[in-house]
Structure 1
């Protein structure tokens, strides 16, 4: 049996005083979610609630986003991988983990079968803070103690930039944000939700219904446009702390963007490593073709029980053209033009 993911060590017994303080925070967060926040029916079959302008799945996130804001104390050395769901998160997590751990886990072909990415889904190796680490509904009232983790710590989040804990900006933590073409994001989200619904014995959602909800901003962590724009503006204001990536560009030039990521997070490749082909080895290790065919990603489950194969469909750019009508495409273009007018952002 494979060992637990490395971050599991942060779930350790706390003192009674610490546990009582944690429980007060969670109780207060639960009351806020239950009594003061707008809610509506979610696409996965669970209610969703609106917090600070964005929508969260109560079944997945619980009170994690609120608890994260109260608990988390960032370090200057922290690396945070951010995205809205279905924008290349799995790809980014795999690449960042492989880059940061290439000394202890070489990506060479001869050693790839022992690599953690061959044993764990990348969502287990790079835990989402508001999903795994700060959601005590999921962890059976276990509260994570992240202070015992060595630096640099690598986490992920789907939370919008404006809702991140203040300590992230104040500490100078680095954020790598990945986004995707609006239309491809919609189609990927629709397929993913229907996969989850199928596993829960629910009828699939029609594309027309998913499209309407997406345009209203009621997709997971939506509105999409505001989420992306928040990180885009942050990358312009604080380029030394926020790196903004586009999935389509990464697919087109993977080596160029992998080198950018490595430099940004403080793990630059040496000339010798580039000469030895380490960059190409990591790209191959983390490719959609390789990861999607691994046994752990075909049959395993991650975190809260979502099948790992739900995170791998096609990974292609432009697939939305096979599903959306010309009217849908035009409406999305109009919303995008209006939302991002004057920002300089294009996808």
Structure 2
């Protein structure tokens, strides 16, 4: 994916009124950012507290554009999650399930493209070069059903997503494992802002426990989708990473039913579910050439001024293990996060194993 210079637009494409409207939105965005609380987070990046969740400056204008301009279709599918909760995997599964009649498993797009390239994020891909009211922000030319992704909390989704009959699949992961994966991944985003002090894992963990992390507090992000899945089970499917990993076949079938494209008896007999699980498995994706080499752009320069961020594709695949956090957490860290989870997730039917 080639880098783009998005610090300016071709003004000849827009009328004077359109240019003035764009400039007005830019100025409002800049003033908003100046008014928001901020903290240094993982990856040496400033996070801003916008609409009760923490995001970097670069994502604020794209999120606003998504909220203001995206028009959902009833056939749309949205994959939602906290970062490093199984997003890459769920994107691949959703794409393979929905498009299983379009592509053969022997010549499948997932064999040559990363799932992030096939399922774009609203706030870090779709609206990067269309942050304000510009043409083609609704991706009307995408093959249907369109599949998008987001880390934005449920209350901050575009109104059309919440009001339409489009379906949302949310995946959550044990916050212990999520944090270790998040910490390791954020260190690999390049380049970081070298003017900011580097946080130790202990310092960053303290912030995580206070909710200061990408799209956090993590408990609010999780609970927003969990409660909506209970209130509207036909709208939101809530998955746990650990359960998906332990019984992928069952949940792939469940996803197909939820998305309105259930597997036929013939497909099940022919091993379609097993083949999709294998195609999208961590082991398979990690060994593909397309995921071993190259750089993937998560964010690029935008009108509110930010540095480019990118990550090598191979860093999207670390271990995908359950309980690997035991190799990184001290006893005091275990105790602290356990107390946070007990307090913040009390009163709901959601639990995670804390390994000895």
Q: With structure 2 as the length reference, what TM-score do the two structures score? A: 0.85
- Cα distance between partner residues in 2 of 1:15 and 1:223: 39
1:59-97 CA distances to partner (integer Å, 9 max, x unpaired)?
A: 4x2511111111111111111000010000000000011
> Are residues 72 and 337 of structure 1, via their aligned partners in 2, closer, same or farther at CA, if it must alter by over 3 Å?
same
> Deviating runs (4+, > 6 A) in structure 1?
201-204
- Change in 2 beyond 3 A, CA 1:22/1:145: farther
In the alignment, which residue of structure 2 is the partner of 1:230?
A: 224
Q: Is 1:156–2:149 an aligned residue pair?
A: yes
2:337 matched to which residue of 1? 332
Given that 1:136 and 1:142 are in contact with CA atoms closer than 8 Å, whether structure 2 keeps it comes out as no
Task: Tell whether 2:137 aligns with 1:144.
Answer: yes
Determine the structure 1 residue equivalent to 2:248: 254
Map 1:177-256 → 2, pairs under 5 A: 177-196=170-189, 200=192, 205-256=199-250
Gapped regions of structure 1 (runs ≥ 5): 3-12
278 and 233 in structure 1: CA distance in 2 versus 1, 3 angstrom threshold = same
Aligned 8 A contact 1:194 1:204 in 2 = no
For 1:50 and 1:143, how far apart are their aligned partners in 2? 29
| 2:76 paired with 1:78 | yes
* Conserved? CA contact 2:45–2:193, under 8 Å: no
1:276–1:142 Cα change, 3 Å: same
**Where does residue 52 of structure 1 map in the other structure?**
51
Q: CA deviation at 1:14?
A: 7.2
Deviations 1:112-169, CA, capped at 9 Å, x for gaps? xx32112111111000001111123899x88634233343211000000010111112
Query: What is the DSSP-based 3-state SS (H/G/I as helix, E as strand, rest coil) of the residue aligned with 1:69?
Result: helix
Deviates more, 1:125-134 or 1:301-310: 301-310
Q: Secondary structure at the match of 1:243?
A: strand
CA contact (8 A) 1:136 1:143 kept: no
**Which residue is equivalent to 1:320?**
325
- In the alignment of these two chains, the number of paired residues is 329
* Residue 173 of structure 1: aligned partner: 166
Residue number in structure 1 paired with 2:9 = none
User: Aligned residue for 1:10?
Assistant: none
Matched with 2:33 is: 34
Counterparts of 1:21 and 1:261, CA distance in 2: 45
3-state SS in 2 of match to 1:195: coil
Contact 1:72–1:165 at 8 Å: present in 2 too? yes
| RMSD, matched Cα | 2.6
Call closer, same or farther: CA 1:17–1:255 in 2, change over 3 Å.
farther
- Offset, 1:47: 1.9
Unaligned runs of 5+ in 2: 2-11, 299-309
TM-score (structure 1 length as normaliser) = 0.87
C-alpha deviation, 1:340, in angstroms: 1.5
Tell me if the contact between 1:132 and 1:138 (Cα under 8 Å) persists in the aligned partners: no
Aligned-partner Cα distance in 2 for 1:17–1:232 = 45
Higher helix share: 1
SS in 1 for 2:211: coil
Q: Match of 1:302?
A: 296
Deviation at 1:267, TM superposition (A): 1.6
